[in-house]
Amino acid sequence: MQKLFSFSFWNGIARIILRNREILLGLIILATIGLATQWSNMRFTHSEANLLPDNHPVNQEYRQFLEKFGEEGNLIILGIKNSDLLTYEDFNAWNSLADSIEKYDEVELVLSTSNLPVLKKSDDASKFIIEQLSKAPLTSKEELSAYKTKLFGELPFYRNLIFSEKDSVLRTAIYIKKDIVNSSIRKEFVLEKFNPLIEDYKENHGLSELRVSGMPYIRTLNSQNIVDEISMFLLAALLITSAIFFFFFRSWRATFISIVTVIIGVMWAFGFLGLLNYEITVLTALIPPLIIVIGIPNCIFLINKYQQEIKEHGNQAKSLQRVITKVGNATLMTNLTTASGFATFIFTDSTLLSEFGIVASICIVSIFLLSLMIIPIIYSYLPVPKDRHLEHLRKRWIGTFVDWTERMVKENRIAIYITSLIVLVISIIGMYQIRVSGSLIEDMPKSMQFYKDIKFFEESFDGIMPLEIVVNTKSKKGVSKAKTLKKLDELEAHIIETPELSRPMSIVSIVKYTKQAFYGGDPEFYDLPTTYERVGISTLLDDSGGDAMLMKSYVDSTGQYARITTFMKDMGTDRMERVEEDLRDEIAKVFPEEKYEVLLTGKALVFQKGTNYLINNLIISLTLAIILIALFMAWMFKSVRMILVSLVPNILPLIITAGLMGYLGVPIKPSTILVFSIAFGISVDDTIHFLAKYRQELIANKWRVKKSVYAALRETGVSMFYTSIVLFFGFSTFTISSFGGTVALGALVSATLLFAMLSNLLLLPSMLLSLERSIANERTFKKLPIPIIHKDGDDEQE
């Protein structure tokens, strides 16, 4: 009865689709138009991908920092080598650029050689005053030489802030307003105002070697490159997929129908993103190509089955009905298992992962429904395929490939097992060599100028990614105590000795500068004041007003919290963790827990922690997906052994890919971790199609296992081959990207698809044949939920 119900269900679905063609097409068109209206709600994220859940301690600590000191990633820096400013005209042009930038409404502060403040005592020595190092444009070479002598030799406060100590690179610090850092206004400012001005000065004012960096600038240009490449990859993937699809099927109609189906699916994906008001992030940006990944196999299996039926009996109505009834259930199962795998992300605490899981699972179910309706409906309006459209079914080279797989399974089963075992062992060894990357810039295009500028500043100033330390003294005005300042200075000395960290900036530098100013600007006195000196300095400060406190954002309004800002070099996650551990050890030593609370945060640290969290959650999600799919298999086949048979050929390609990543030095990071989920979903699709056909043949051939396995191999082998080759080249288009992560994703998925195809065509049937006595019996398969339709169109009877 269960099988009769299942057959009746799919037969009913076929009648509904074929008898209501106009209504369904109209609904699809209306739904597409409706979702297209939601595209206006799509927006790219204007902040770094936050991979951590909102309630994660690292996120909470970062929010505490922002509440006290505001957005820390608001610094854009300009840099130029001192040797490129040999004339006073060039130096004046450099200063003029800073003055021009300062006029923009989006800019809060510019600190440059144009307006460099110098702290000094007033003429009557009663207070501190601030004067500019240069009050007017320079007029001679001698003035330029005097300015540089003063800057490089007498102002240690600006060392590694305005000029680098190691190579005298000059730097301009541009602080954009904090409230626009994570908004579209930042993007408009950088692309429409800031960049054109920079290019103008490079071209017309002798500043051709000018360098630009800083997190707001990097994020803007990197995001724009991602936007530019999304459309490029979708177009490239569709073109190459179309070309290969046509090469196999030799039918413009089949190619056109498949591409239209996939394009509608991509349109729906963007529509769902807009409808749900989700940002396009590092993960959700993968959904449109994912639709191609899932949609093309659906089209291949449906169209290939339709053409096989036409070739067999030539009846179009019967062929279309059988496409839906015979392939529909297996295709539904493949899409449901894939969607369920991605849906496991919904149950993680990460907003980024959850949103990705929701949209991906909705889109996968949608592309199944679109494929199941659009392909039979469009073919129902078209004439019956001609012999030339079916020629691919008789291609000798395809037959040769299928014959080879059949011969390997028949004659070399032991060799298949031995090879699989050897590859498994080698891959496991490679897995242990995989490194994790929490770098913010590793995936950025190495050929782009902004990436080269990042390395330039990293070399001169020892890093550009902010790392923040907040010290809670647990008492108001506790920061100004001599004991606290000495401890801060001790920690800064440790930071300076760490090669991966830049010279820090804090209240300590300001206090040292006040002592230098107290002694007439002599750089020998750039140090923390003694108790006696503090009395004199305090008197001058009290009469100076707030303007004397340069960079007062390094102490909160209560004087209880002190902020130390340093910058990190780009480094591997392992090294970053060691630097963090070493820094925390020093903090614990300098600031006892019972007297101080110290917070270590910053964008670089948050991203690194987020990467580790993402990896852990994706491992859990992949495990849940495997368990869920195992349950599907248990429901489908009512056999524990069949679960083993179905999972082994799908897990092996994942292990091989992980091994390749280890040997090739491809790190685990947000852009590559989804390789495993995508690959697992696709390989499971092939397994379900094969096992569904195997079970049909098993009952039709009265439980003769060998005959059923070879029959299933011959029919599904062609579709698997088509699917894998189309998707291999489709994902290979991603290797033309300028982003390292995108290149790795495309190459790894492409390779994994080939491993999965070979595993399902060689290892899966071999295991079925080896275990035939224990899995192929009527008690196992007699009452399974998969419907069987024989060639005469009747469902199997009990």
* Look-up of token digits 């499971």: 684
For residue 774, what pLDDT is reported?
A: 61
For residue 363, what pLDDT is reported?
A: 92
Choose between 702 and 659: higher pLDDT.
659
Q: How far apart are CA 394 and CA 399, in angstroms?
A: 7
- What DSSP line would sit under 516-561, residue for residue? HHHTTT-GGG-S---HHHHHHHHHHHHTT-GGGSTTGGGB-TTS-E
Report residue 230's pLDDT band, with 50, 70 and 90 as the boundaries.
confident
Report residue 777's pLDDT band, with 50, 70 and 90 as the boundaries.
low
Task: Name the pairing type of β-strands 465-472 and 561-568.
Answer: antiparallel
Biggest alpha carbon–alpha carbon distance for the chain? 110
Per residue in 475-531, pLDDT (tens digit) is 888 888 889 999 999 999 999 888 888 888 888 888 888 888 888 888 888 999 888
Asked whether 605 and 580 are in contact (CB, 8 A), the reply is: yes
For residue 784, what pLDDT is reported?
A: 47
Burial zone of 47 (CB within 10 Å; 0-12 exposed, 13-18 middle, 19+ buried): middle
Other CB atoms within 10 Å distance of the CB of residue 410? 15
Task: Name the pairing type of β-strands 43-44 and 279-280.
Answer: parallel
State both tokens at 12.
């009913």
Report residue 582's pLDDT band, with 50, 70 and 90 as the boundaries.
very high
For residue 749, what pLDDT is reported?
A: 81
Per-residue pLDDT for 772 more than 70? no
Q: How far apart are CA 442 and CA 455, in angstroms?
A: 11
Task: State the virtual CA torsion across 471, 477, 482, 488 in degrees, nearest 10.
Answer: 20
* Look-up of token digits 């859940």: 53
Per-residue pLDDT for 603 more than 70? yes
Q: How far apart are CA 554 and CA 112, in angstroms?
A: 19
Residues 6+ apart with CB under 8 A from 334: 297, 684, 685, 688, 689
CATH class of domain segment(s) 394-432+638-787:
mainly alpha
Report residue 344's pLDDT band, with 50, 70 and 90 as the boundaries.
confident
Per residue in 291-321, pLDDT (tens digit) is 877 787 788 878 878 887 887 777 888 888 8
For residue 778, what pLDDT is reported?
A: 44
Per-residue pLDDT for 549 more than 50? no
Q: How far apart are CA 598 and CA 562, in angstroms?
A: 10
Per-residue pLDDT for 544 more than 70? no
* Distance set, CA 289 to CA 211, 572, 791 (Å): 35, 29, 37
How does DSSP classify residue 412? -
Kindly report which listed range (114-128, 183-197, 504-518) carries the lowest average pLDDT score.
114-128
Name the H helices within 735-777. Answer: 740-758, 764-770, 772-775
Report residue 542's pLDDT band, with 50, 70 and 90 as the boundaries.
low
SS3 of residue 462 by DSSP: coil
Q: Residues 40-58: what's their mean pLDDT? A: 73
Domain borders along the chain are: 394-432+638-787
State both tokens at 283.
């993960």
For residue 775, what pLDDT is reported?
A: 56
For residue 548, what pLDDT is reported?
A: 40
Mean pLDDT computed over every residue of the chain = 80
Report residue 794's pLDDT band, with 50, 70 and 90 as the boundaries.
very low
Residues 6+ apart with CB under 8 A from 545: none
Q: Residues 385-414: what's their mean pLDDT? A: 75
For residue 776, what pLDDT is reported?
A: 52
State both tokens at 620.
């859990």
Q: What percent of the chain has pLDDT over 70?
A: 89
Per-residue pLDDT for 545 more than 60? no
